[in-house]
Amino acid sequence: MAVISIHNLTKIFRGNIILNNVSLEIESGTVTGLIGRNGSGKTMLMKCICGLVSPTSGSVTVQGKRVGKDVDIPDNIGVIIETPGFLPNFSGYKNLAQLAKIKRKIGKNEIRAAMERVGLNPDEKKHVGKYSLGMRQRLGLAQAIMENPELLILDEPMNGLDKAGVQDMRQYLLCLKAQGKTILIASHSAEDIDALCDNVCEMDKGALSVIR
């Protein structure tokens, strides 16, 4: 069963074709890799899936609901797109606690567990504005997983992580895969794509082709 169904998706912005008639089916419990150069349309495709951008034409259906028609933003989804944005004068834990209030699905135990899983100390008082890029990325990952979503949309999730962090996160994503989570991941790392993905698609000038 397809968790994500994309049909003839086109996005035109300021006269430029960002997505060009993209169609894709992503089945439940699979990991799909998205490769392509910067500016190829990967991030825009992910934004359309998440309901952050409306397409010019075509449709996106996530978990049986059409995005922008049945739902504005899909339910039960964890997202990292571009550099995660957080309140710079709050600690990591306080940032996640504020976000958790939106859906009220989890409490402090789940927040703490998510932070610890990505290698952050939930008791650390340092403000996010003083975090390194790698720490911000880890916090973004914690935010994406803390509500235990069935679907993860991850745009360059290893960005800013050191070698040990990349290895740890790769193992964690493999663990989520074993649990039957559905994951769409964009990465410039061929090693990450080979290690994680069941299927691989390439974006080039807004067009999508299936590699395997």
Q: 129 to each of 86, 90, 92, 102, how far by Cα in Å?
A: 8, 8, 10, 22
**Mean pLDDT to the nearest integer, 164-177:** 89
Contact 44, 11 (CB under 8 A): yes
CATH 3.40.50.300 in the chain is located at: 1-76+150-212
Query: Within a 13 Å sphere around the CA of 84, how many CA atoms are in the beta-carbon half?
Result: 33
Query: Average of pLDDT values for 68-78?
Result: 93
Quote the radius of gyration of the chain (alpha carbons, Å).
Answer: 17
What does the block give as tokens for 99?
């976000």
Global confidence as pTM: 0.92
Residue 199 has pLDDT above 90, yes or no: yes
Q: Using the predicted structure, report yes or no on whether residue 82 has a pLDDT greater than 80.
A: no
- What's 1-76+150-212's CATH class? alpha beta
**Residue 4 near residue 26, CB atoms below 8 Å:** yes
The whole-angstrom separation of Cα 113 and Cα 117 is 6
Q: What is the per-residue pLDDT across 3-37, written as a single tens digit (0 to 9) for each?
A: 999 999 999 999 999 999 999 999 999 999 999 99
If DSSP codes are grouped into helix, strand and coil, which group holds residue 40? Answer: coil
Q: Is the pLDDT of residue 83 over 80?
A: no
pLDDT in tens, 28-72: 999 999 999 989 999 999 999 999 999 999 999 999 999 999 999
- Note the pLDDT tens digit of each residue in 126-150: 999 999 888 998 999 999 999 999 9
Neighbours of 181 (CB within 10 A): 21
Q: Residue 164's pLDDT is what?
A: 87
Question: DSSP code of 39?
Answer: T
